[in-house]
Amino acid sequence: SKNWNEEWEKNVNIIEVSDRIIIKPTFRELTQKKNQIVITIDPKMSFGTGEHQTTKIVLMLLEKYIKNDITVLDLGSGTGVLGIAASKLGAAKIICLDNDEWCYINAKENVEKNDVNNVEVIEGEIEKISDAKFDLILANINKNILVDVKKKIVESCNKGGLIILCGLLVSDKEEIERQYSKLGITALEFLQIDDWIGIVFQN
């Protein structure tokens, strides 16, 4: 209904993730400063407006670790915000993968709005990427899924590549670190906001 949309629009604000990364909805005006990266996201019902601490954690880690010309997999991509950010921060090719049809549609719209033509949105599970390998894998999903797909995530990461896991509570840290370290990768950094934590692993 029209009213619901109006209410929703009142509550969606411009989010300054860092000095460099800004997320805004289409209907909010913003004068972009030099060197700023502005990502336009209309969240509809998908997760990932940037309000949520886990989105913020991954964006801050992306800003630190991304290198030009790398390949990126964004697993459980929701609105596509992380994949779009990766593109604007200099990645060469990004795949956004989500098994939810609504997220798939929303991410496609957001990718078009942001004019990032090196981001491909795919609907499906991680098996969809078959044996493709990536320099950086982002997964902002819940602990149980991260445990279930750990082998495939690590197999899909190039040697020397990075894996950024989030969607985790601080209380999940030890288990995730243990499960992933067993697969031969090393935890490089932890970033915590409130009760949420992001972990960066190197393969």
CATH classification of the domain holding 109: 3.40.50.150
137-185 pLDDT tens trace: 999 999 999 999 999 999 999 999 999 999 999 999 999 999 999 999 9
CA dist., res. 19 & res. 21, Å (int): 6
Q: Is residue 186 part of a domain?
A: yes
Q: Is residue 109 part of a domain?
A: yes
Q: Is residue 22 part of a domain?
A: no
Using the predicted structure, report yes or no on whether residue 98 has a pLDDT greater than 90: yes
Q: Is residue 86 part of a domain?
A: yes
pTM equals 0.92
Q: How many residues does the chain have?
A: 203
Q: Is residue 147 part of a domain?
A: yes
What's the pLDDT score for residue 13? 80
Q: Predicted confidence band at 12 (pLDDT cuts at 50, 70, 90)?
A: confident
What's the pLDDT score for residue 70? 98
Q: Is residue 37 part of a domain?
A: no
Using the predicted structure, report yes or no on whether residue 45 has a pLDDT greater than 90: no
Give the other-Cβ count within 10 Å of 168's Cβ.
26
Q: Is residue 160 part of a domain?
A: yes
Give the SS3 label for residue 104. Answer: helix
Percent of the chain's residues with pLDDT above 90: 81
What's the pLDDT score for residue 103? 92
Q: Is residue 13 part of a domain?
A: no
Q: Provide the domain limits for residue 165.
A: 47-202
Q: What is the domain count for the chain?
A: 1
Buried b (16+ CB within 10 A) or exposed e, 124-140: eebeebeeeebbbbbbb
One DSSP character per residue, 17-82 reads: -SSSEEEE-TTS--PPPTT-EEEE---TTSS-SS-SHHHHHHHHHHHHH--TT-EEEEES-TTSHH
